[in-house]
Amino acid sequence: MHELRHTDYERVRPLFRKLDIHLPLQAILAGNVDAPIYVDNPLHPQTALTWTGHRFYLAGAPGNIDLIAEARKVFLENFTMQAWKTGLDSYIVSYPSDKWETFITGMLDQKYPIKAQRSYFSYLSNKINWKSLLPEGFSVRAVDAKLLSEKWQNPEFLTEEMCSERESVEDFLAKSFGLCLVKADEIVGWCLSEYNTGHRCEVGIATHEDYQRQGLATLLASAFIEQARSKDVARIGWHCNASNAGSAATALKAGFEKVSDYPIFFGWFDDAKNVAGNGYFAHGRGEYAEALAFYEKAFTLGEVPDSAYWGAACDAALIGETEKALKYLSEAIELGYDDLDNIVNSKYLVNLHDTEGWKKILQRLEQEQA
């Protein structure tokens, strides 16, 4: 594949037409985001790929075996290395149709990507008077230099997100906009514009974990819509995992409508963490033997969190591998997994309850927590 000159980016615009819901692509083509585009033929491109941050895009028509190998090289040597250097640990691959899936499977051979669905929502009409929802003691503030000059308990909660797309806080203030919800000297939540291009932007939103499930995200999103419309933004996009019912509900309450679901592949750059992630999702599908195999493979590849050993213990118990289950449960505890209530009441470990090993593990935990 060949890296396209920036002056030739217009040549690939038709290839990205089917990915119009992904505003980062429009930002790249407009020159608002500095990103490389690789193509099969610089003069008459039929296949293209590009990326920004952790988002990797494929467009046009899938190529042949040789092109798969070329795309794999770009993914591993360019995209992955750049993402690692900027501190990213995971990726999402988006593509225009299921015709690409064989190509992606080859491109990510032995990387064990996970297929999933995401949802796209577009702003339709504001349904909520957000000011009437504002709890006593809370206020909505514009994200600007004045806000950032004040002292906050947790400024990084906001500034880290401001720099997730933009090069710096200053770059964000110059090119983007947003709001945050504050209480006293604490930043409770934020809603920020992303990939501002033309009369479009996308939404990034989060509420601090201590304040979730109180309707504050809906309030913030509604206030953000008001701000965006005042800045002549006509089209506001919202992406979330299709399984994220909370995010989808917030979007609908705030006046967005669901436009489409679309497939992605995702994974983690670290092989051990990625294979362990496959174990987690296999467990969710009820494929317990497969999940255990993934966890055990992950253990041979590098360090994984205690939750991976906990998952292996659960899956081993479910398929009758009692000794393995006790072994992995002990290793999870040694690594710091000490939620006694969850261990005792887990439906996945019921098969261990009559074993001597189980009794010893419980005695040990009880003594440590006494």
Residue 186 corresponds to which amino acid? E
Instruction: Let me know if residue 266 belongs to a domain.
Output: no
- Alpha-carbon distance of 364 to 370, in angstroms, equals 10
DSSP for 167-178 reads SSHHHHHHH--E
Write out the residue range of the structural domain in which residue 239 sits: 123-261
Q: How many domains does one find in the chain?
A: 3
Residues 103, 47: one domain? yes
pTM beyond 0.75, yes or no = yes
* Contacts for 247-251: CB closer than 8 Å, 24+ residues apart: 248/119, 248/121, 250/205, 250/217, 250/218, 250/221, 251/121, 251/221
Q: Is the pLDDT confidence value at 94 over 70? A: yes
- What is the average pLDDT value for the chain, to the nearest integer? 95
Bin 46: left if φ > 0, else alpha if -120 < ψ < 50, else beta.
alpha
Instruction: Let me know if residue 316 belongs to a domain.
Output: yes
What does the pLDDT average to over 206-235? 94
State the DSSP code for 214. S
Instruction: Let me know if residue 279 belongs to a domain.
Output: no
Whether the CB-CB separation of 280 and 288 falls below 8 Å is answered with no
Residues 151, 240: one domain? yes
Give the largest Cα separation in the chain, rounded: 72
- Alpha-carbon distance of 27 to 201, in angstroms, equals 10
Residues 249, 163: one domain? yes
- Give the side-chain half-sphere CA count within 13 A for 326: 14
Q: Last residue of a domain, which of 211, 226, 261?
A: 261
Residues 68, 186: one domain? no
- Alpha-carbon distance of 23 to 20, in angstroms, equals 7
Report pLDDT for 366.
84
Q: Last residue of a domain, which of 261, 278, 310?
A: 261
Instruction: Let me know if residue 275 belongs to a domain.
Output: no
In tens, the pLDDT along 266-298 reads 999 999 999 999 999 999 999 999 999 999 999
For 273, residues 6+ apart whose C-beta sits below 8 A from its C-beta are 89, 298, 302, 304
Minimum mean pLDDT range among 13-17, 106-110, 190-194, 362-366: 362-366
Instruction: Let me know if residue 13 belongs to a domain.
Output: yes
Length, in residues, of the chain? 370
Residues 99, 131: one domain? no
Residues 246, 137: one domain? yes
SS3 159: helix
Instruction: Let me know if residue 272 belongs to a domain.
Output: no
Question: Angle 356-369/322-334 helices, nearest 10 degrees?
Answer: 10
Residues 235, 148: one domain? yes
Instruction: Let me know if residue 281 belongs to a domain.
Output: no
Q: Last residue of a domain, which of 79, 112, 145?
A: 112
SS3 137: coil
Best CA proximity match to 320, nearest among 344, 348, 361: 348
Give the strands of the sheet with 186-197, arranged side by side: 2-3, 37-39, 47-52, 55-60, 90-94, 256-268, 114-123, 235-241, 200-207, 186-197, 178-183, 138-142
Q: Is the pLDDT confidence value at 370 over 80? A: no
Instruction: Let me know if residue 242 belongs to a domain.
Output: yes
Residues 301, 253: one domain? no
Residues 253, 142: one domain? yes
Report pLDDT for 222.
95
The CATH number given to whatever domain includes residue 83 is 3.40.630
What does the pLDDT average to over 175-194? 97
Q: Is the pLDDT confidence value at 164 over 80? A: yes
Residues 85, 161: one domain? no
Residues 134, 186: one domain? yes
In tens, the pLDDT along 332-343 reads 999 999 888 999
The CATH number given to whatever domain includes residue 142 is 3.40.630.30
The CATH number given to whatever domain includes residue 314 is 1.25.40
Residues 41, 159: one domain? no
Report pLDDT for 353.
95
- Alpha-carbon distance of 271 to 298, in angstroms, equals 8
In tens, the pLDDT along 34-54 reads 999 999 999 999 999 999 999
